[in-house]
Structure 1
Amino acid sequence: MSVLLFPPPQPVLLLISAPSGGGKTTLCQQLLAAVPGLARVVTCTTRAPRPGECDGRDYHFLTPETFEQQVAGGEFLEHAVVYGHRYGTRRAEVLDLLQAGRDVLLNVDVQGAASIRAMAADHPALRAALVTVFLTPPSIEILAERLRRRGQDAPAAVERRLAEARREIAEWRHFDYLVLSASVAEDLHRVQAILEAEKLRTARRPSGSGA
């Protein structure tokens, strides 16, 4: 029986954020299909389901009252109000997966990313695992065209989303990596490369190991 010289790397908490229409939902779906063992944490929200969305698969759809009870109980790793609706990530779901050695994918907005970074500063396990990626089209014009093509919002709502997107894009320097969105395939390749490189970092190997 062979003896491993090095223990497996500690897990990665891969956080992906983007402005509305930036493509993070599609990218996350592609990542989950392409990366064996990558775990997704389902976000909680108070907004109504969109056509085709399923409770527990796409989101945990909560009433505002239930959401507030969970906030008061300290159940969320992060929570924020986005376009009038509340979103949050349950702390226990993330920590349980990391403790089981699973790499975890988080799809959160810029507010949520800031909250998780702040919490990670005081939480060694989160701090060691966290890797943040900001995905955005290379120009606001491309983002505007994507939002209009999506056809989910009235023109006034598109303009509100673009105004918010400008504020979100201004936060890009707070992330570990910046990915300028091109095609779905290229975005997937770049983020897979980030994840693979992070798994190879010597800092992810428990101390005291080696030949």
Structure 2
Amino acid sequence: MILWVSARTSSLACRLAFALAGTPGEVREISLRAGEGRTPEFLAINPKGQVPVLQVADGTVVTETPAIMLALSDSVPEAALLGATAPQRWASMEWLAWLSFTLPGAFQPAFAPQRFGPPPAESAIREAALKRAQAALDFAAARLPADGWAVGEAPGAADCALAMLAVFAGFLNLDPGERLHALRGRLFALPALHATLQAEGFAA
């Protein structure tokens, strides 16, 4: 399998899950900032021009984080990325769906307000987005256990996505909350993720 990513973007969640599961295959990095998502070669793989993108062994291309997490879980079932039981899988998908809705509405306008309105409105757009982002962080932190993992007894896809949220909080100088910050620390301390974190430029 091949997973396409761009460093320090929302593809981080799938990149962490790919490594956590011990997925056979490779990670290929492009630079969205340099416009590599709009090249003819990449658009032939994903016409959306976005990452993450997963290409499975038979050539099927999967896009969007929840779908990729499901594909990774199906491809490496022993890793139980979504959980060991049906309720755990439902809970994992609930987290992933919520995050997929939350990132565009709260975090993206905070990072790039110029994409969401004319210059006179940029400051107000960013300020409103920061408030939504902090509310999302508070929501997540309040629903996490004091110790362990978001779903079940082992780290999984939901933890990878939530750790990404904590990273984004740091980029924006927002408070992820004690429990979300601690979950990020536990996940990033896993030996299976050290090479991925180094490639992304993050300290554990």
Q: Same fold (TM over 0.5)?
A: no
Q: Relative contact order (alpha carbons < 8 A, sep ≥ 6): 1 or 2 greater?
A: 1
The structure whose residues are more often strand, as a share, is 1
Structure 1 or 2, whichever has the larger Rg, is: 1
Q: Normalization by structure 2: what TM-score?
A: 0.30
